[in-house]
Amino acid sequence: MELSSLRAFVQVARDRSFSQAAEALFITQPAVSKRIASLEAELDTPLFDRMGRQVLLTETGRHLLPRAEQILAGVADIQRELANLSGRVSGPLAMGTSHHIGLHRLPPILRRYVDRYPEVDLDIRFMSSEKVSQGVEQGELELGVITLPLQPSDHLQLLPVWRDPLLFVVAEDHPLAELGEVRPEVLIEYPAVLPTRATYTRSLLEEAFLQADGEIRCGLSTDYLETLKMMATIGLGWSLLPESMLSQGLVELHVDGIRLARSLGIVTHRHRTPSNAARAMMQQLVKDAKNRETD
């Protein structure tokens, strides 16, 4: 059983697409099909059902998937351990981050990292914090720099790096703008523009409003904070944004009894040996945060 065939099988299972798997593996689609066919012939059973454009795992495929992931993770772990013995900071580093952190926190850190470790092949993927966590847990990403989850999986290890205060904001001409301070039950009488329900930030907000009499009225939602800022600025509703995004056109609201902040930091797999490249990245992130605190 060849590792290349197992990698192709796992990638197709995750993407539910031969073409997307080919892109992820940097090979052609016929090459992916050939590897899957070889594995199916070796096991003497089909692993996928092809239903039009849909690619679904057979029962055998579902049983094989966790074992295949375990085998590939074990091999990758051995490769990292052996590479780490040399002490060199080099090789691939697949990491994920949210768009907001990638735009507002990482640029100077990445510049220093690249200058110091030119032999590292950085593969940075921008996606939601929730998808980054999933990617780390499934072994697709070695680390993530994200909004840390409130209830993480047992397989994930979290390292807080930054405290990110959050502010309730409205447009300058919003009816609440002149009040300055409002009660939670008054705030939720007005429409909001917020991150989607699946996000860690939205979960933090809703948990804080559990005692409020009523539900938050969110007609518009998106995971892009810059878009939320725009929608709040033009008066489409109140919002919750990082303190660093407060600017002209927005007014901060003090909500009685509620002060929110989210934790930004590093997520890794608890049972995965980090590469030298990943260790160096984590050290750079923590060092930068400490330097900013002392500035």
Q: pTM here?
A: 0.72
Is 165 in contact with 261 (CB distance < 8 Å)?
yes
Angle between helix axes 29-43 and 18-25 (nearest 10 degrees) is 110
Confidence of residue 84 (pLDDT cuts 50, 70, 90): low
What does pLDDT average to over the chain? Answer: 89
More confident residue, 250 or 23: 250
Who's near 184: CB < 8 A, 6+ residues apart?
209, 211, 212, 255, 256, 257, 258
Confidence of residue 282 (pLDDT cuts 50, 70, 90): very high
Confidence of residue 164 (pLDDT cuts 50, 70, 90): very high
Domains of the chain: residue spans and CATH:
3-83 (1.10.10.10), 90-295 (3.40.190.290)
DSSP-assigned beta bridge partners for residue 255: 182
**Segment 94-142, tens digit of pLDDT:** 999 999 999 889 999 999 999 999 999 999 999 999 999 999 998 889 9
What tokens appear for 209 in the block?
């409003």
Q: What percent of the chain has pLDDT over 90?
A: 58
* pLDDT score of 263: 94
What tokens appear for 257 in the block?
């009894």
What is the rounded distance in angstroms from the CA atom of residue 262 to the CA atom of residue 259? 10
Confidence of residue 86 (pLDDT cuts 50, 70, 90): low
